[in-house]
Amino acid sequence: MLAVIGGSGWEALPGFNPRGQHRPDTPYGEIAGDIVEGELAGRPLMFLSRHGQGHRLAPHRINYRANLWALKQLGAREILAINAVGGIGPDSGPGQLVCPDQLIDYTWGREQTFFADPVEHIEFADPFDTALRRRLLQGAKGAGIALVDGGVYGCTQGPRLETRAEIERLRRDGCTLVGMTAMPEAALARELGLAYVSLCISVNWAAGLSDLPITMDAILAVLAQSRTPVLTLISALAAAGSVTPE
């Protein structure tokens, strides 16, 4: 089953028909909130708000291990992560949807693995599942939705936004997007054998790349405009069937 992890601005899934709610215990502590199981456009899926209701959990305080563990225990095999990000690359301006294929982790102090003792070294050259990315891109093409194929997600610690100098460093490193939640989420999904893909919504130009200030009003306006295409992509992905993680 497909599970959607909603990021900033996606504390609920519009049009979702809930059938039940779950908050399972995990060996890693509490999850962010209830996992809601139901249907979207007649397709079964699960939904979890990454930051919890009221956006109460900062990126570095999210219990990523508990969230992923609980989703797998409830039957999730695929994860679509919705991420609100800042745009760095020329094709990632506000309002653009991007399906990144790479990431760079700049975070620190987060619980990074299920396998501290004994240690296991997962293969992670391609951090987003290839087959699931292909399905998402095909769904966008079929629906006539502009979705950028590829990009490098730079994951910063947060919760503050970045300085101009930090964004310039990320740009030199090759990052085209900047966010705060893709890691360790993507790596933990890989450890559990879950197919994982990120659907990024660029909500602003990153610091120093626009003369306009970054404001929550502007971010929320972009998120509101993204509702319809993102819901269409979720439905298309759920309708396309399951994949085996690569």
Residues annotated in a binding site? 8, 50-51, 180-181, 204-206
Sequence ranges of the binding site for phosphate:
8, 50-51, 181
Rounded Cα distance between 83 and 181, Å, is: 7
Which residues lie across from 178 on neighbouring strands? 86, 154
CB-CB contact of 181 with 234 (8 Å): no
CB atoms within 10 A of CB 145: 16
Q: From the centroid of its chain, how far is CA 52?
A: 14
Sequence ranges of the binding site for substrate:
180, 204-206
Identity of residue 2: L
Token pair for 114? 């299920």
Identity of residue 86: G
First to last CA, the chain: 16
Residue 167 main-chain phi, psi, to 5 deg: -65, -40
156 dihedral zone (left: phi>0; alpha: psi -120 to 50; beta): beta
Rounded Cα distance between 147 and 140, Å, is: 6
Rounded Cα distance between 108 and 21, Å, is: 32
